[in-house]
Amino acid sequence: MKDFFRFVMRFVTAYKWNVVLSIFFNVLTTLFTVFSFAFIMPILNVLFSIETKEYTYMEVSAGNFNDAMVNNFYYYITTFMQTHGASNALALLCAFFVGMTLIKVLSQYASDWFIFPVSNGVERDIRNDMYEKIISLPIGFFTNERKGDILARSSADVKELQASVMSSIASVIRYPLNIIVSLAVMIYVSWQLTIFVFVAIPVFGGILGVVGKKLRAVSLESQQLGGDILTNIEETIGGLRIVKAFNAENEMDQRFKRLTNRFYNVNNAVSRRLALAHPMSEFIGICAVATILWFGGSLILNGKSFIDASMFIFYLLMFYNIINPAKELTKTGYTIQKGMAAMTRIDKILDADNPIKDPENPKPLPKIEEPGISFRNVTFSYDGSRDVLSNINLDIKPGQTVAIVGQSGSGKSTMLDLIPRFYDIQEGKIFVGDTDITDLRKKDLRSLMGNVNQEAILFNDTIFNNIAFAKPEATREEVIEAAKIANAHDFIMETENGYDTLIGDRGCRLSGGQRQRISIARALLKNPSILILDEATSALDTESERLVQEALENLMKDRTTVVVAHRLSTIVNADKICVLNNGRIAEEGTHDQLIKQHGIYKKLVDMQQV
């Protein structure tokens, strides 16, 4: 329960007035529950002549308030019976009973009415916090996490938390109040008998505690398997072409079934443990009632009790009024454990550390329109054990186009990722203009840059919205102008709804060249000072490459540009070419200069000309 109360302080305090009002109406519910049960006693005592005592009106004072109020209540009832008859008195008592029950159920509804916004609001807040955290975390975090598992934590685990923990908040408020008030009444009726109850209840409660001991661990395994299933589905859909090409449908199917069978078995264990809570608590509750009935009844039969038979029946009703809330609290304890397992998985994202932080005193952006970029003794490693880049020194002057080439795994894309601080370096410094990039806010730094990647990353939205993603306030005319410069306007107008055409998941309704030109139009609309191109034409056919290359040349005009190139023919006119080999700069110069050196670059060019 310690984790539960920590969760409440963390997320529920924002809705404290809803909780206060819910508690208030729960108190009313509990009080009117007790009052409605209290009407059993006059019905038994007066109407069925269990007691024939005559009552006279008693003056109420501070010293006899309780006795006077009970006496006068019986006095008015007996007087009413004598005047109007027993049947009408019974009708009056029933009317009071119905009236108090109506107030009780209305108060209970009001309590729920105020607690529902708490439950749904916390679910919304956690989803929002998770999404905000996901988009703020560095790219490196997701290289160690599975996409399907993150989706499971953001959806299924949050829903599980809402269904278990948040639905339990009302129970945690309501049932303890019922128990406390009922116990207070029981102590008032017979403190001697209540001492016996206090001795008996912990024995029964200890038995119930054993059942839920391992529920949290089993629930955690269930939720982790749910994430594995989502991951498997996501990977299968993404790699369906390969699955079919290698006739691996049966193998994938068997792998998935093994996973779902484990999920099936674990869920059975969770469900059976949850299902055990109600019958066990009900059986133990009946055992407790039977024990109290035997003990108290024996005292009454032997003439040793301090209460009469009707009061003992009322006492039993109060005790039974504890049993049901106690059973519900037991179930609530199980569901809270189940929800806390989901919270453990959610916290892995919410509590994840973001090592790429903004400086405490950020510097302003460089005022020059085309800032240069400088790498000074830069060394970088993803895992701290192997350097991907070692002692990189490179100066890119304002307005220059610098190409980075080399074999796969030499660190080309990594160099590009360091410029916008997708990762932080271990040694050295990177400057934009004369400013260390770690002295700038990430948002300011990235506002200078436009990116075009090998894989055009588009969203399942209209063409217009995908281009305007770089500048949400852009007018239609600005979007069209950017599309024209990117050689995209003509094919856009040939689509079904022009700029309002939906392009499907990741732009699946467009060809590779069309997707790339839309991503170039997006970068053009942003009008960045620094342009980063990561093998933007390597996956295209010849005709698409020509159109995209023309669009890129339009984009690169009057901008500081860093290009990672696979096809070396696309960067022969670069102002500088940097050749990486095993994470180090092996050669540097123009195309002609590097050809004359007969080094690594010359070998790369010759291989592509074969």
Average pLDDT over residues 360-381: 84
Q: What distance in Å separates the CA atoms of residue 309 and residue 388, rounded to the nearest whole number? A: 86
Q: What distance in Å separates the CA atoms of residue 464 and residue 459, rounded to the nearest whole number? A: 11
Burial class for 531, CB neighbours closer than 10 Å (0-12, 13-18, 19+): buried
Average pLDDT over residues 239-263: 76
Each residue's pLDDT tens digit, 440-475: 888 888 888 888 887 778 888 888 998 888 888 888
Is residue 539 pLDDT above 60, yes or no?
no
What are the residue ranges of CATH 3.40.50.300 in the chain?
Answer: 373-609
Dihedral angle of Cα 49, 50, 53, 59, to the nearest 10 degrees: -100
Which residues neighbour 328 within 8 Å (Cβ) at sequence distance 6 or greater? 171, 175
| Token code pair at residue 138 | 């560095």
Q: Are 15 and 123 in contact (CB under 8 A)?
A: no
| Token code pair at residue 588 | 């540097």
Is residue 128 pLDDT above 80, yes or no?
yes
Given this model, what pLDDT does residue 375 score? Answer: 92
Q: Which of 45-54, 106-115, 308-317, 553-562 has the lowest mean pLDDT?
A: 45-54
Given this model, what pLDDT does residue 1 score? Answer: 62
- Residue 107 CB: number of other CB atoms within 10 A? 20
Average pLDDT over residues 188-204: 70
Q: Which CATH number fits domain 2-16+116-350: 1.10.10.410, 1.20.1560.10, 2.20.130.10, 1.10.10.10?
A: 1.20.1560.10
Greatest Cα pair distance, the chain, in angstroms, is 124
Q: Which of 186-195, 294-303, 593-602 has the lowest mean pLDDT?
A: 294-303
Is residue 335 pLDDT above 80, yes or no?
no
Is residue 39 pLDDT above 80, yes or no?
no
Given this model, what pLDDT does residue 537 score? Answer: 66
pLDDT classification of 371: cutoffs 50, 70, 90: confident
Given this model, what pLDDT does residue 309 score? Answer: 67
Q: Which CATH number fits domain 373-609: 3.40.430.10, 3.40.50.300, 3.40.50.720, 1.10.3720.10?
A: 3.40.50.300
- Residue 304 CB: number of other CB atoms within 10 A? 9
What are the residue ranges of CATH 1.20.1560.10 in the chain?
Answer: 2-16+116-350
Given this model, what pLDDT does residue 379 score? Answer: 92
Residue of higher predicted confidence among 544 and 407:
407
pLDDT classification of 429: cutoffs 50, 70, 90: very high
Q: Which of 177-191, 216-230, 490-504 has the lowest mean pLDDT?
A: 216-230
For the chain, percent of residues with pLDDT exceeding 70: 81
Q: What distance in Å separates the CA atoms of residue 37 and residue 43, rounded to the nearest whole number? A: 11
Around 188, how many Cα atoms within 13 Å sit in the side-chain half-sphere? Answer: 11
Is residue 44 pLDDT above 70, yes or no?
no
Residue found under tokens 């800032």? 371
Is residue 46 pLDDT above 60, yes or no?
no
Is residue 305 pLDDT above 70, yes or no?
no
Sheet of 435-436, strands arranged across: 387-396, 373-381, 427-432, 435-436
- DSSP for 527-581 reads --SEEEEESTTTTS-HHHHHHHHHHHHHHHTTSEEEEE-SSGGGGTT-SEEEEEE
Q: Which of 27-36, 133-142, 232-241, 318-327 has the lowest mean pLDDT?
A: 232-241
Is residue 167 pLDDT above 70, yes or no?
no
Is residue 143 pLDDT above 60, yes or no?
yes
Given this model, what pLDDT does residue 49 score? Answer: 56
Q: What distance in Å separates the CA atoms of residue 599 and residue 584, rounded to the nearest whole number? A: 15
Task: Specify the 3-state DSSP secondary structure of 93.
Answer: helix
DSSP letter (8 states) at residue 469 = G
Average pLDDT over residues 47-74: 66
Is residue 215 pLDDT above 60, yes or no?
no
Residue 295 to residues 74, 205, 316, 424, 441, Cα–Cα distance (Å): 29, 19, 12, 73, 74
Residue 589 β-bridge partners: 577
pLDDT classification of 374: cutoffs 50, 70, 90: very high
Residue of higher predicted confidence among 493 and 546:
493
Residue of higher predicted confidence among 18 and 327:
18
Is residue 479 pLDDT above 60, yes or no?
yes
Q: What is the mean pLDDT of the chain?
A: 78
Average pLDDT over residues 48-75: 67
Residue of higher predicted confidence among 412 and 304:
412
| 548-581: burial string, b at 16+ Cβ within 10 Å, e else | bbebbeebbeebbbbbbbbebebbeebebbbbbe
| Token code pair at residue 465 | 């919205």
Is residue 238 pLDDT above 70, yes or no?
no
Residue of higher predicted confidence among 251 and 204:
251
Is residue 482 pLDDT above 80, yes or no?
yes
Q: What distance in Å separates the CA atoms of residue 132 and residue 114, rounded to the nearest whole number? A: 27
